[in-house]
Amino acid sequence: MPETATAPPTPPIPLAALLAREELGLRQIAGPVEAGAAVHMVHTSEMEDPYPYLLGGELLLSAGVLLKDPDRYVSRIVQAGAAALGFGVAPVHDTVPADLIEACDRHGLPLLEVPPQTTFTAVARAVWRLMAEARHRELRRVTQAQQGLAAAAARPDPIPAVLHQLASRLGGLAVLLAPDGTELSSTGRAPVPSAGAALRHLARVVNPPSGATESPAPASAADSVPGAQLAAYALGGNQGLVLGLATPAREPGDHTVAGVAVVLLSLLTAPHQGADNTSRSAALVRLLLGARPAEAAPLLGPELWTVVHARGGRGTPFAASALAAALGSALVDPADDGTVRILLPADREVAPQPGWVLGVSAPVHTDELAAADSQAARALHRAAATRTDLVRHRGTSLAALLSPGEAEAHARLRLAPLADSPALLDTLRTWLSLHGSWDRTAAAMEVHRNTVRQRIARCAALLDEDLDDADVRMELWFALRWL
């Protein structure tokens, strides 16, 4: 276990809220009171040293069955990052041992006395109930903030309105910074006077000067100064604009609220290219009136295009638009199956995007876009199967030796016994892509490894093939790619 434990991602509750539950009868008898300890979970243990089993942030409950060295016991609990210790009076001890009280005071660990009539289960149930209430409050707060931000974006002065709504919701300062750090618009109150300068410094992390670093800049960054929590978010659309936030504290849900504001501001600050919009409209009209894609495509500009297929976005609002803005394109199609398809000029570099899995086609002319669409789909499937953020189509393969029509006909014939079972086809494709690994296939498909074994055995029976044969695996893999 690492020296510094990280608390699990659950909504914490103040220890004071648990102490306020009168039906439990809990009483703090040692440790700091004013520190405002937060409880992330409850763990019951009678181990002499519970350190290896703690994640951090727990209210540890114990009756002291194996309590031998209170000072070492408390120091190990503190080292593991536990929030507090609840000591049950009875059946082992009639009162809380004095040396345990002294150890908790010495090491700064809140110590709660759990009366005999209160079971550890009742304490745990109260913590889960308080957490559920906290989660409900958090979701309600985020939902209200999203509605407020959306309404602000519809106002005649949308950018200042969104910043004002964000600052009021988070209780701090919201500022829009230019690429050179100039303050374009700001609203709210900075928690400390130094927050503005600290935000400009943090903005250079997400928007470093050209050539300052070889690695891609992160989409967001966080820091703190005495009295303030700082966050910086790069806006999409390659504008170099940064949203900076300075708040007195960082509350659950703040990042989600800020993410919505980032998407809205990215859209609002994107350059309004009237000529491009007119050309896109003209291309759409020609297609609707019967023109072939090759005839309408010149209106969109580039001669060569790249197709990107993507999955992810964590279900956040405007996820597809935000991804398209980050890649630098307005040509985006969020499909009903959850796949996002984006058309990019071939000279634009496609980099991995946080929260997304991407499949990228080879650069093609406009009359080859349908083939590029298939390339991107296959690349996305391989990226998902291999748990890779981004996979590019590799143009040199055996698939190029056959025409697409011949390859597809062969694939349908070869895999005909599995045609009525998408689950078997998906399992076979994933299993082959992961070199026959049962465990990795089960993890990738989120099923039990026995389910994978049963499905592969069924595939072998229906195909009447030995799937341990490398030649058979190769033929099936190419057939699955062509299908």
What confidence tier does 122 reach under pLDDT thresholds 50, 70, 90? Answer: very high
CATH number of 155-268: 3.30.450.30
**What value does the mean pLDDT take over residues 244-273?**
82
Q: Which residues are paired to 243 by β-bridges? A: 176, 233
pLDDT at 120 over 90: yes
Residue type, 481: R
Tell me the range of 177-181, 205-209, 225-229, 298-302 where mean pLDDT is highest: 225-229
CB-based contact 49:24 (threshold 8 Å): no
Pick the CATH number of 302-395 from 3.20.20.140, 3.30.70.270, 3.40.50.11900, 3.20.20.70: 3.30.70.270
**What value does the mean pLDDT take over residues 270-289?**
66
Higher-confidence position of 306 and 276: 306
Confidence (pLDDT) at 277: 63
Confidence (pLDDT) at 278: 65
What confidence tier does 18 reach under pLDDT thresholds 50, 70, 90? Answer: very high
CATH number of 400-482: 1.10.10.2840
What confidence tier does 1 reach under pLDDT thresholds 50, 70, 90? Answer: very low
Q: Is the dihedral of CA 283, 286, 287, 291 positive or negative?
A: negative
Mean pLDDT of the chain: 84
The percentage of residues in the chain with a pLDDT greater than 70, rounded to a whole number, is: 90
Cα distance between residue 343 and residue 306, in whole Å:
6
**What value does the mean pLDDT take over residues 121-138?**
90
Confidence (pLDDT) at 246: 92
The percentage of residues in the chain with a pLDDT greater than 90, rounded to a whole number, is: 31
Domain boundaries, the chain: 13-130, 155-268, 272-299, 302-395, 400-482
pLDDT at 88 over 90: yes
Q: Which of 98-107, 203-212, 266-275 has the lowest mean pLDDT?
A: 266-275
For 36-86, the DSSP string reads: --EE-EEEE---S--GGG--SSEEEEE--TT---HHHHHHHHHHHT-SEEE
| Fold of the CATH domain 13-130 | 3.40.1390
Tell me the range of 271-285, 341-355, 454-468 where mean pLDDT is highest: 454-468
pLDDT at 5 over 60: no
How many whole angstroms from its chain centre is CA 434? Answer: 24
Q: Checking DSSP bridges between strand 27-30 and strand 111-114, what pairing results, if any?
A: antiparallel
**What value does the mean pLDDT take over residues 65-84?**
93
